[in-house]
Chains A and B, each alone.
Chain A
Amino acid sequence: MPHDHNNEMSPSGHPYRKDQDHPLTYWQNLEIAVREILVEKKITTEIEIQETINEMDNRTPSNGATVIAKAWTDPSYKQRLLTNASDASRELGFDIGPLKLIALENTKSIHNVIVCTLCSCYPRNLLGLPPDWYKQRSYRSRIVKTPRTVLKEFGLDLPKDLSVRVHDSTADMRYIVLPMRPHGTENFSTQALEKLVTRDSMIGVGLPKSA
């Protein structure tokens, strides 16, 4: 067939990427079976499932950036965020469900970074789906043991006098880092500030963009 490549190389000399057509695993089969039963029993519908997946896929770190920029410009909001980050997020209209969120403030002497060593707990409602590396053992096992080495790989070389606080989301809490507001942004609007807040800065493996 014309589209079968076997082990040929592409015209540019690179191997073709394999199709993702591996047989279903035990757990994938189980998921399909449970889903079909739930639909058959009219507990949910295919459309409802698809809508929920779309909703999850459409969340992006810009939600989190809105929260951070607001905290940078409104001191009383920042206080509310640090006291109860779930309520403070709801205040800005983000539906975070029953999620218990804790905001961790970076200061001149403390740098926070989040992980879930047991699985992949992540503040999805504010940041969307976690990046692949966040779910991998390499990040999860090393960030709690040698955080400075790992952060350096991300381009963050932290001075010795700055304490690194790693937060392992082991149970019912989710975390978001409140990074420090970049210098030279005193006259920035909240909207301009939102553009400086990166996903990685809210995980703690990066800093916001500079002004």
Chain B
Amino acid sequence: MKVKVKKMFPPGHVRTPSYLRGKIGEVERDLGYFKNPEELAYGLNAHKQKLYRVRFEMNEIWGETCENPSDTVDAEIYEHWLEKV
């Protein structure tokens, strides 16, 4: 499944790194549900959110001049940060 990380910049305890925002990747695996750290960090009654491991190609993240296009970065991204492509 191809997904795109939403390009948004909310304040607070966010676990989506900036360098992946707006980038397209492939879901590597579904990790199940975890309490949303964006609420958990503030002692709120955190909702469970689906967490995915998403694989991004270097090319997609850093552009044509990247070190080696076929190398990849895998990261865990929460469902509410992803949209289907």
Contact = CB atoms under 8 A, between A and B. Distances in A.
Contacts, number: 66
A170 B17 contact: yes
Contacts of A100: 31
Given A171-B34, A172-B34, A148 B67 contact: yes
Interface residues of B, number: 24
Contact of A166 (B53, B70, B72): B72
A118 B15 CA distance: 7
Interface string A142-178: 0011111100000000001001111111111100000
Contact of A168 (B17, B51, B66, B68): B17
A117 interface: yes
B31 A173 contact: yes
A116 to B, nearest CB: 10
Nearest to B18: A117
Contacts of B71: 147-148, 163-166
A167 B17 contact: no
Nearest to B66: A145
Interface residues of A, number: 21
A165 B67 contact: no
A118 to B, nearest CB: 6
Contacts of B78: 171
Contacts of B19: 117, 144-145
B68 A170 contact: no
B54 to A, nearest CB: 10
Contacts of B55: 165
Nearest to A100: B31
A169 B16 CA distance: 10
A166 B73 CA distance: 5
Contacts of B27: none
A141 to B, nearest CB: 9
A170 B67 contact: no
B73 A171 contact: no
A129 to B, nearest CB: 22
Contacts of A164: 68, 71-72
A144 B76 contact: no
Contacts of B75: 167-168, 170
Contacts of B15: 118, 170-171
Nearest to A144: B73
Given A118-B15, A147-B71, A164-B68, 9 more contacts: A144-B61, A146-B67, A148-B67, A148-B71, A165-B71, A170-B15, A170-B75, A170-B77, A171-B76
